[in-house]
A and B are shown apart, each in its own frame.
Chain A
Amino acid sequence: MKFTKTLLATTALTVAAGAATAQDMTVVSWGGAYSKSQLKAYHEPYSAKTGINIINDDSSAEAVAKLRAMNEAGNITWDLVDVEAADAIRLCDEGLAIEIDHDAMLAAAPDGTGASADFGSSIVSSCFIPQIVFSTTVGYRTDMVGAEAPTSICALFDLDKYPGKRSLNKRPLANVEWALLCDGVAKEDIYDVLATPEGQDRALAKLDTIKDQVVWWTAGADTPQLLADGEVVMGSTYNGRLFSAIAEQNQPIGMLWDAQMLDFDGWIVPAGLPEDRQKMVMDYLFFATDTQRLADQAAYISYGPARESSAPLVGNHADLGIAMAPHMPTDPANATNVFVTQYEFWADYRDDIDAKFQAWLAK
């Protein structure tokens, strides 16, 4: 194993070459509008304050695999990684991310409430420092759905009323919950049903009824593009993407908040960083996750700040000038029927359901 490690280390060296001097910090995120919102709200003010240069790496989609490889090679080239909560749990479980003492390491709310209380239930793992609340929800072409625009998530499965292609995420999360919900399972029973092989088969059987009409997406930008091209009549994606298509690009697109899957996204700090770099990262995190910074980010993208204390500070869109609060997934008007992603459930059943889902896809 030593041998393999040495080899992997040599390969990793090529990547590391030239990176990471004392004044550089490599931050991994999702790219696109999301990275831009981080740049505006966090990176630029922080660099101005400290002189530390922040290097962006748009690799969050492969973060778990890459962190595992870096860990095996014994050479961590990333300082801070933006991941979904579920990935944070996986990384934490495998010891690839360090545990955080939220109250001691992060800023308290302006009113003195400790960080962990302020973040509340969004701290789904001891390694996870939440940033935003986002949701996976459904958008549709207003000009292709006929007279009666959909109001329920089950429009996805209603081929009679809403014929045409729909785009869905190429992984089970959200899809199987929606399938069971529309197959008549009560919302509170869904995870109990999904924990059984029969329940998993039932979800796939429901998805099977629309499989011919589904275009599967892997990148968040796919569904807005497919909607804009008229390739699909409706499709799931992240609420921020839909906001951008509707409000910024004026596409003929409408969106559902029904049965939106609420999820968190945030930071993890890779395990195995040298002390000085870890210290630098923690200093950045203290700054970038305080109440004001999280509220600032909402001016650039329609994701809700994960701190409770940030909500009242959410203002207007930086360019459009419209109020952002009504476009947040957590806005009371939008949050009448919400799924909060069951991280524990997904951590436990992800391997099982994913394997079945992929096999079903390939059939």
Chain B
Amino acid sequence: MTDTSAHQPMIDATGVPLKKSLARSLRREKIRALLLVSPLLLFVLLTFIFPIGSMLFRSVENDIVSNVLPRTVVELQNWDAKSGELPDEAVFAAFVADFVVAVEEKNHTRLGSRLNYESSGMSSLFRKSGRKVAEWNPETDGPFKDKLIAADKNWGNVETWAIIQTHSGKFTNGYFLNAVDMQRTPNGIEMQPENKQILIKLFLRTVKMSLIITGMCILLGYPVAWILANLPNRSANMLMILVLLPFWTSLLVRTSAWKVMLQNQGVINDVLVWLGMVADDARLEIINNQFGTIVAMTHILLPFMILPMYSVMQTIPPSYLRAAKSLGATNWTAFWRVYFPQSVPGIGAGSILVFILAIGYYITPEIVGGTDGVFISNRIAYHISSSLNWGLAAALGAILLAVVLVLYWAYDKIVGIDNVKLG
């Protein structure tokens, strides 16, 4: 005690302010720590954060219109779509000049696809026109207004030009609007036509099914975790191996195994028919729907629920239950009032883990989900690899990320993230 009070002054033995010399001595430790984590940091930055960032950037990026049709975009600024009249010859001439270059550089089909996201028919219009306009000479073949309309009557449609004008900005919220079943039209933001509204429904379904899966995992995992935590070490280890067993087989194999189990002529149905519980011609539909997805994903994600629960339950001494019983509580009351509240942090940690994994799951719903058991991530995959609408995929991904963060925030507010124990 006397020793520290002797050094109380703000200057150290060599006359340097104490804070400064402390900072200097800590700096070396900080640098060392930074060096130790830097390989991982660099790795994560290069392979994760930057690519994801650049992918998310696509959700608002829209320079394709102004890049492919630079002159047209400028000319269109002077045109009022609400007038109900077609743009004048200058716009048509600029468009043909842009379009000939675009066809030459093979950009027009991509632009057509881009505009088709906003309005059906644009893709085929651009492709068809591309084949005809390619032969024209923008210098000598004018005037183009009637010529272009003759090539395809849709160019005589005010709507077509209004769409180009509406989406000519360098950045767009169009993808995000599309992601929530809305669209940007020349008349402002509107809902998509009824037969194209699917994404909000998919988002809600994804959240709903993830919650059901999380709930199922809690119901099935809690007793297992309890037994694990209360068994003597050796038997607990055996049981733990059984819990972890699914981790040792590939995800694809496990999911395909569920297919064999659940399909119409599968093991479960065969057994039920054999037992006479269902008729052979009325076999249960338990695959290619939501039920199949929930069953298979609950199984696959169960270890992620059990492990955090187990590690929390292990820290609850048995004396609490004894104390409760000695105070007059029945087995159930002792469990519910004393043991359960203390195991809630484990449930919380497991639930966050399972829910976040579930909400972004792709392979299992794809294989066993049919059409009504698929998630938003299957939609994202479709837009990435099949429709090539990367902007929409990025917007959907960004929304999914936001949903997870909002739920996480809400969880923190309600339960408190400090109450979550992962081990």
A51 at the interface (CB under 8 A from B): no
State how many angstroms separate the Cβ of B68 from the closest Cβ of chain A. 12
Q: Which of B116, B195, B263, B385 contacts A65 (CB 8 A)?
A: B385
The answer to whether A351 touches B387, judged by C-beta atoms less than 8 angstroms apart, is yes
Give the most central of A7, A68, A347, A356: most B CB within 10 Å.
A7
A216→B197 CA distance, assembly (Å): 21
B341 at the interface (CB under 8 A from A): no
The answer to whether B57 touches A4, judged by C-beta atoms less than 8 angstroms apart, is yes
- Interface residues as binary, A1-29 with B (CB distance below 8 Å gives 1, 0 otherwise): 10110011011001000000000000000
A197→B196 CA distance, assembly (Å): 13
The answer to whether A355 touches B120, judged by C-beta atoms less than 8 angstroms apart, is yes
Which stretch, B105-113, B209-217, B325-333, B349-357, touches the partner chain A? B105-113
- Interface residues as binary, B298-331 with A (CB distance below 8 Å gives 1, 0 otherwise): 0000000000000000000000000000000000
Instruction: Please name the residue on chain B nearest to A348 by beta carbon.
Output: B124
The answer to whether B113 touches A351, judged by C-beta atoms less than 8 angstroms apart, is yes
The answer to whether A231 touches B263, judged by C-beta atoms less than 8 angstroms apart, is yes
Given A7-B54, A231-B265: A363 and B120 interface contact (C-beta under 8 Å)? no
By secondary structure, the A interface counts as helix
B50 at the interface (CB under 8 A from A): yes
The answer to whether A4 touches B387, judged by C-beta atoms less than 8 angstroms apart, is no
A216→B399 CA distance, assembly (Å): 27
The answer to whether A348 touches B265, judged by C-beta atoms less than 8 angstroms apart, is no
Instruction: Please name the residue on chain A nearest to B48 by beta carbon.
Output: A11
State how many angstroms separate the Cβ of B183 from the closest Cβ of chain A. 12
Q: Which A residues are in CB contact (< 8 Å) with B173?
A: none
The answer to whether A348 touches B128, judged by C-beta atoms less than 8 angstroms apart, is yes
B370 at the interface (CB under 8 A from A): yes
A277→B332 CA distance, assembly (Å): 74
Q: Which B residues are in CB contact (< 8 Å) with A347?
A: 127
By secondary structure, the B interface counts as helix
A95→B102 CA distance, assembly (Å): 11
Give the most central of B121, B371, B374: most A CB within 10 Å.
B371
A188 at the interface (CB under 8 A from B): no
Question: B residues 38-94 with Cβ under 8 Å of A?
Answer: 46-47, 50-51, 54, 57, 63
A309→B12 CA distance, assembly (Å): 95
The answer to whether B370 touches A215, judged by C-beta atoms less than 8 angstroms apart, is yes
The answer to whether B127 touches A362, judged by C-beta atoms less than 8 angstroms apart, is no
Given A356-B196, A361-B371: A68 and B54 interface contact (C-beta under 8 Å)? no
The answer to whether B110 touches A359, judged by C-beta atoms less than 8 angstroms apart, is no
A148 at the interface (CB under 8 A from B): no
Question: B residues 95-110 with Cβ under 8 Å of A?
Answer: 105-107, 109-110
The answer to whether B105 touches A95, judged by C-beta atoms less than 8 angstroms apart, is yes
Given A4-B54, A352-B121: A93 and B116 interface contact (C-beta under 8 Å)? no
B-side interface size class: 35 or more
Interface size on A, residues (CB 8 A): 44
A274→B319 CA distance, assembly (Å): 74
The answer to whether B127 touches A359, judged by C-beta atoms less than 8 angstroms apart, is no
The answer to whether A352 touches B124, judged by C-beta atoms less than 8 angstroms apart, is yes
A231→B287 CA distance, assembly (Å): 11
B293 at the interface (CB under 8 A from A): no
State how many angstroms separate the Cβ of A59 from the closest Cβ of chain B. 10
Instruction: Please name the residue on chain B nearest to A200 by beta carbon.
Output: B120
State how many angstroms separate the Cβ of B226 from the closest Cβ of chain A. 39
Instruction: Please name the residue on chain B nearest to A197 by beta carbon.
Output: B120
Given A360-B195, A362-B374: A95 and B54 interface contact (C-beta under 8 Å)? no
The answer to whether A352 touches B385, judged by C-beta atoms less than 8 angstroms apart, is no
State how many angstroms separate the Cβ of B387 from the closest Cβ of chain A. 6
Instruction: Please name the residue on chain A nearest to B193 by beta carbon.
Output: A359
A352→B118 CA distance, assembly (Å): 11
A215→B57 CA distance, assembly (Å): 36
Given A94-B106, A348-B124: A356 and B371 interface contact (C-beta under 8 Å)? no
Give the most central of B46, B127, B202: most A CB within 10 Å.
B127
State how many angstroms separate the Cβ of A351 from the closest Cβ of chain B. 4
The answer to whether A14 touches B47, judged by C-beta atoms less than 8 angstroms apart, is yes
Q: Which B residues are in CB contact (< 8 Å) with A64?
A: 388
Q: List 19 contacting pairs A-B, 8 Å CB cutoff, sorted by A.
A: A7-B54, A8-B51, A8-B54, A10-B50, A11-B51, A94-B110, A95-B105, A197-B120, A216-B371, A218-B366, A229-B263, A351-B120, A352-B123, A355-B196, A355-B387, A356-B195, A358-B198, A359-B196, A362-B372
B contact residues vs A (CB 8 Å cutoff): 46-47, 50-51, 54, 57, 63, 105-107, 109-110, 112-113, 116, 120-121, 123-124, 127-128, 195-198, 201-202, 263-265, 288, 366, 370-372, 374, 379, 382, 384-388
